[in-house]
Amino acid sequence: MLKCSLAQLTCFTNVLVAAARVITATRKYDRGLSRLPHEELHWLDVPEWILFKLCAFIHQCLNNKAPQYLMDTCSSVATVPGRQRLRSAGRNYLVVPRHRLATYGRRNFVIAGPSAWNDLPNKLRDISLSRTVFRSRLKTYFFSYY
């Protein structure tokens, strides 16, 4: 999935909890602060939020509502000449190119975007969904983790 350092995730999570405390007027040592962003504010955690934004942007790329240089990086498996008969061609998978760098290669949009898209369930990889319906279903999918 998403590779990010633990220090970065901790920093972002602390900011998220602090913002939730400010919005809901709770004190620092109150109980249930870890559930506060999910239950009352309907916020995703930082790793899921990053994946949400990444998948939403890939959906825009597939619907031709993104810059051309990014749309060119999102190619379906069904459009590759040697792969039309594969099972992945009928499931709306995207081609994930090979990468060499183990640390930064997976964080590149060209690799992270199609990988996140391919990890979604079949009902979410439907390109014909409108932007609002897709985002609503995607957020519901990520909230099922909690």
Per residue of the chain (146 residues), give pLDDT as tens.
455 677 777 887 788 778 887 888 788 777 766 676 667 777 888 888 889 999 999 999 999 998 998 888 888 777 777 766 676 666 778 888 887 766 666 778 888 899 999 999 989 988 889 999 999 999 999 988 76
Within a domain: 22: no
Within a domain: 83: yes
- In total, how many domains does the chain have? 1
Q: Which residues have C-beta within 8 Å of that of residue 12, sequence separation ≥ 6?
A: 46
3-state secondary structure of 70: helix
CA 38 to chain centre: 17
The pLDDT value recorded for residue 56 is 94
Within a domain: 114: yes
Question: Could you tell me the residue range of the domain that residue 87 belongs to?
Answer: 45-143
Within a domain: 36: no
The predicted model scores a pTM of 0.76
Within a domain: 111: yes
Q: Are the C-beta atoms of 55 and 47 separated by less than 8 Å?
A: no
d(CA 48, CA 132): 18
β-bridge mates for residue 94, sequence order: 76
Q: Are the C-beta atoms of 93 and 83 separated by less than 8 Å?
A: no
The pLDDT value recorded for residue 127 is 86
